[in-house]
């Protein structure tokens, strides 16, 4: 009787090749998944801005003015940027919510460290947005500011006024 020694299994080299291939595929999938999340957040931001603009225009059509900021404009010791409405501070254009122009105040999908929406109403405040770096032309009555991670909006100019980190692309919508 002849005995054969047949061992089945994988060699170490075969296992290392499979592990390397699985690692490479996982890396590609992680990058793709991250890019998809970024694209989704930017899509949400652009849709939020469209909704905010629509609500502001409806408010302006009803009242003849854009809604005022929530903050005190008469206190000269408060820096101008603390007088603006910030979506990450809990009070973002409350007149739109109370007037039923939006169901709830919009918030940036990340909503921290430079990722928020800003609203300033220039008609009840002597601050003209172009006074701090050319954000809007003279006569602007309100401004929305927002940031994106990757998508460059076609209809909105880039504007940067120093409070948001420079690595964050920031865009402004000036309302006249």
The total number of residues written for the chain in this structure: 176
C-alpha 138, offset from chain centre: 26
How far is the C-alpha of 87 from the C-alpha of 16, rounded, in Å? Answer: 50
pLDDT at 17: 93
What is the average per-residue pLDDT within 39-63? 92
Q: Angle at the Cα of 147 (from 144 to 153), degrees rounded to 5?
A: 85
Residue with more model confidence, 3 or 116: 116
Q: Is the pLDDT score of 133 beyond 60?
A: no
Tokens read off for 160: 């940067």
**Is it the case that residue 167 has pLDDT exceeding 50?**
yes
Per-residue pLDDT at 61: 93
Q: What does the pLDDT average to over 126-146?
A: 63
- For the chain, the domains span 37-175
Closest residue by Cα to residue 144 from 154, 156, 152, 131: 156
Q: Model's pTM, two decimal places?
A: 0.73
Mean pLDDT of the chain: 78
| pLDDT score for 110 | 85
Joined tokens for residue 84: 């603006």
Half-sphere exposure of 107 (CA within 13 A, CB side): 10
pLDDT of residue 170: 80
- CA angle (56 as vertex; 52, 57 as ends), nearest 5: 120
């Amino acid at each position: 009787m002849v005995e054969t020694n047949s061992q089945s299994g994988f060699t170490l080299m075969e296992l290392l090749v499979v592990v390397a291939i699985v690692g490479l595929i996982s890396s590609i999938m992680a990058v793709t998944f991250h890019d998809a999340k970024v694209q989704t957040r930017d899509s949400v931001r652009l849709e939020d801005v469209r909704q905010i603009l629509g609500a502001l225009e409806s408010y302006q059509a009803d009242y003849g003015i854009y809604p005022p900021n929530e903050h005190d404009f008469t206190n000269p010791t408060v820096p101008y940027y603390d007088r603006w409405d910030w979506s990450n501070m809990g009070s973002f254009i409350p007149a739109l919510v109370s007037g039923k122009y939006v169901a709830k105040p919009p918030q940036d999908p990340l909503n921290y460290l430079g990722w928020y929406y800003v609203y300033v109403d220039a008609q009840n405040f002597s601050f003209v947005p172009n006074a701090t770096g050319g954000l809007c032309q003279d006569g602007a009555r309100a401004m929305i500011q927002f940031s994106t991670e990757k998508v460059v909006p076609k209809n909105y100019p880039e504007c940067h006024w120093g409070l948001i980190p420079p690595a964050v692309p920031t865009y402004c919508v000036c309302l006249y």
